[in-house]
Structure 1
Amino acid sequence: MNWAAVQAIYVTEMHRFFRTLAQSFVSPVISTSLYFVVFGAAIGSRIQEVEGVSYGSFIVPGLVMLSVITQSISNASFGIYFPKFIGTIYELLSAPVNFLEIVLGFVGAAATKSLFIGLVILATSTLFVDIEIQHPIAMLAFLVLTCLSFALLGFIIGIWAGNFEQLQLVPLLIITPLIFLGGSFYSISMLPAIWQKIALFNPVVYLISGFRWSFFGIADVPIGISLLAIAGFTGLCLAAIWWIFRTGWRIRS
């Protein structure tokens, strides 16, 4: 393993993040505040509690997951797409660096950025509601795994994308609706029976359910299934990336 190469890619990507540090942190704080104003105040006045948890507190895990997932995909997809766009990807591919080291550098940096933002949003939430994390280690584990798995997905999207419009296509039209329909701001137990069954086909449900369990000890699906879901998703992304580098799809052509 060429750790110097991994470090070089990682540090370069992190430098780009810290150059816009104020924007990177201020934007999530403002967005989180707006969500609490809209959902916490407007909807929270009508829905006092969900499964024994105040509605304002109940939506915190969903807010964190919403930002973490979108930021992981955005950071990783742009991180690998930009070298493709300007042509420096060929210098990287011709260097004595294997695909695992490239993935570790780009995905590791994207996951780190998203983790920072997720923690900032969690800290901002404490200004609005009281939060008690029953399982802090599980919470961090779910947060890190989500950052890594969706950074891997973003890496795939960045390789697939042929232009900046395609770079935003999957997150905007597929991922964001799945997050909103995945129980970010409600429990799927509040849905009619038929829609509860349909919701279980949404993979984001398992992520948000497991993450919410780490806060309040309540979940829409068993915690073991949530862990299996995120592990399976991570494995699929890794297999797809291995195939991409093995065949050179969208990289060498």
Structure 2
Amino acid sequence: MNWAAIRAMYVSEMTRFFRTIAQSFISPVISTSLYFVVFGAAIGSRIDQVEGVSYGAFIVPGLIMLSVMTQALSNASFGIYFPKFIGTIYELLSAPVNFLEIVLGFVGAAATKALFIGLVILGTAALFVDVQIQHPLAMLTFLVLTCLSFALFGFIIGIWAGNFEQLQLVPLLVVTPLVFLGGSFYSISMLPPIWQKITLFNPVVYLISGFRWSFFGVADVPIGMSLLAIAGFTALCLGVIWWIFKTGWRIRS
């Protein structure tokens, strides 16, 4: 394992992040505050509790998941697309590094950024509501796994994308709607029976449900299914990336 190469790629990506640390820090704080104003104040005043949890606290895991998924995906996709765009990816491919080392460098940096944003949002939420975490180790595990899996997914999107518009296509038209329809701001038990069954086909439901369980001990689906879903998604993304580097799809032409 070429740790020097991994460190170089990781530090390069993190340096770009810290150059805009004010924007990276302030933006999620403002967004989280607005969500609490809109959902916590406007809707929360009409909904007392959801599954025994105050509505303001109930939406915290969903807010964190929404930001973490989109940030991990966008950071990873841009991180690998930009070298493709300016042509430096060919220097990377000709260097003595394998695909796993490239993935560790770029995906590791994107996951670190998303994890940082998630912790910032958690701290911001604590200013508005009393956030209690029943299973802190499980919470951290779900958070890290979500950062890694969506960073891997973003890496795939960055290789697939042919222009900057396509980088935003999947996050805006696929991921964000799935997160909003995946129980971020409500429990799927509040839906009619037919919609509860349909919602279970949304993979994001399992991630949000498991993450919410780590906070409040309540979940829409069994915790084992949540872990299986995120493990399967991570394995699928790794398999696709291995195939991409093996065949050279979209990176050698």
Structure 1 length normalisation: TM-score? 1.00
Take 1:158 and 1:25, find their aligned partners in 2: how far apart are those partners? 24
The amino acid across from 1:127 in the alignment is L
Deviation at 1:141, TM superposition (A): 0.2
Inter-partner Cα distance in structure 2 for 1:169 and 1:124: 29
Displacement of 1:104: 0.3
For residues 47-66 of structure 1, give each alpha carbon's deviation from its aligned partner in whole angstroms, at most 9, with x where no partner exists: 11000000000000000000
Q: Aligned runs of 1:1-253 on 2, under 5 Å?
A: 1-253=1-253
How far did residue 115 of structure 1 move?
Answer: 0.2
Once the two structures are superposed, what CA deviation does each residue of 1:201-235 show, in whole Å capped at 9, x if it has no partner? 00000000000000000000000000000000000
1:154-176 deviation per Cα after TM superposition (whole angstroms, max 9, x unaligned) = 00000000000001001100000
Identical positions, percent: 87
Q: What is the aligned residue count? A: 253
Per-residue CA distance 1:102-156 (angstroms, 9 max, x = gap): 0000000000000000000000000000011000000000000000000000000
Give the C-alpha shift of residue 10 in structure 1: 0.2
TM-score of the superposition, structure 2-length normalised?
A: 1.00
RMSD: 0.3
Shift of the alpha carbon at 1:92? 0.3
Following superposition, which runs of at least 4 residues in structure 1 exceed 4 angstroms of deviation? none
Unaligned runs of 5+ in 1: none
Q: Deviation of residue 72 (structure 1)? A: 0.3
1:249 shift after superposition? 0.2
CA distance in 1, matches of 2:224, 2:104: 27
CA distance in 2, matches of 1:204, 1:183: 8
Separation in 1, partners of 2:249, 2:10 = 23
> AA paired with 1:69?
M
